[in-house]
Amino acid sequence: MGFSYAPTAVQTRTGAERATLVKRTYGLVFLSVLVTMAGAAFTFTQPALMQAVAQHYFIGFLCILAPLFLAQRSARVFPTNIGFTFLFAFAEGVYLAPILYLSEARTPGVIGQAGLLTFVAFGALTLYALLSKRDFSAWGSFFMVGVVVLIVASILNIFVASVAGSMWIAAIGVLIFSGLLVFDTWRLLRSGQLGQDDYVLATVSIYLDLLNMFMFILRLLGGGNRR
């Protein structure tokens, strides 16, 4: 699941600093998405690795958390922060590969459709956060509560195994992470709460918003199949 970081003590004070932050963040988000795709593609060519990940999801999840934690801890230490961010993105691709493989096998072309819809939503929500004069500071806490509720509902649905419930969860998940994307984008572009060296923190937030949006859209397009 995605999440947002608390504001840091360092604030952007000039337009040049903010421009640097935005350029670094979106560049790293773009590269992280490519690294995730590379991780998934690599796993597709390694049947043994694919099977191991599919059989040991909890261990795989822990393998994702480790580089994520290290990326946060070294967020302002270049180039260590970049290395751990890419390691986290690659591990995400490996972890998600079995889900993507099964989704594409059940509904050919669904990954491309989900990717396109996520890209369009990303562009629209980014423009909204940029052009809107609203203060989105309250959205972070509100949608984080939604993430907690979403996690609880997802766990309960594992035992209920309801396709309709899975569809509702996916739809709500898209809305929640759309809201978080608006909040994180506003915090990056408009709030002045991040310094120019906080690009890794901003990148991970936006990357996770996008990734979760993509996965929930994928589930919706797949008809709510359990994976």
pLDDT digits (tens, 9 = 90+) for 62-112: 889 999 999 888 888 889 999 999 999 999 999 999 999 999 999 899 999
Report CA 105 to chain centroid distance, whole Å.
23
pTM for the full predicted model: 0.88
pLDDT tens digits along 163-179? 787 888 899 999 999 99
Instruction: Determine the average pLDDT of the residues in 147-159.
Output: 85
Axis-axis angle for helices 110-131, 199-221 (nearest 10): 130
pLDDT at 8 over 60: no
Domain boundaries defined on the chain: 15-221
How far apart CA 23 and CA 146 sit, in angstroms, is: 30
How far apart CA 163 and CA 217 sit, in angstroms, is: 15
Query: Residue 85 is encoded by which pair of tokens?
Result: 């961010």
How far apart CA 110 and CA 220 sit, in angstroms, is: 10
- Which residue from 6, 21, 16, 34 is spatially nearest to 140, judged by alpha carbons? 6
Please give the residue that has the higher pLDDT: either 197 or 114.
Answer: 114
pLDDT at 44 over 90: yes
Cβ burial, residue 170 (10 Å; 0-12/13-18/19+): buried
Query: Residue 171 is encoded by which pair of tokens?
Result: 């739809």
pLDDT at 60 over 90: no
The pLDDT of residue 5 is 43
Instruction: Give the CA distances from residue 1 to residues 20, 70, 90, 205, 216, in Å, rounded to whole numbers and listed in that order.
Output: 28, 17, 16, 10, 11
How far apart CA 31 and CA 123 sit, in angstroms, is: 17
pLDDT at 12 over 60: no
| H helix or E strand, kind and range, residue 109 | none
Asked if the peptide bond before residue 108 counts as cis, ω within 30 degrees of 0, the response is no
Residue 64 backbone phi and psi in degrees, to 5: -80, -40
Residue in this structure with the two tokens 């940029």, named with its chain if needed = 130
How far apart CA 123 and CA 25 sit, in angstroms, is: 15
How far apart CA 197 and CA 143 sit, in angstroms, is: 26
- For residue 62, what are the contacts with CB-CB under 8 A and spacing of at least 6? none
Report CA 76 to chain centroid distance, whole Å.
20
The pLDDT of residue 192 is 67
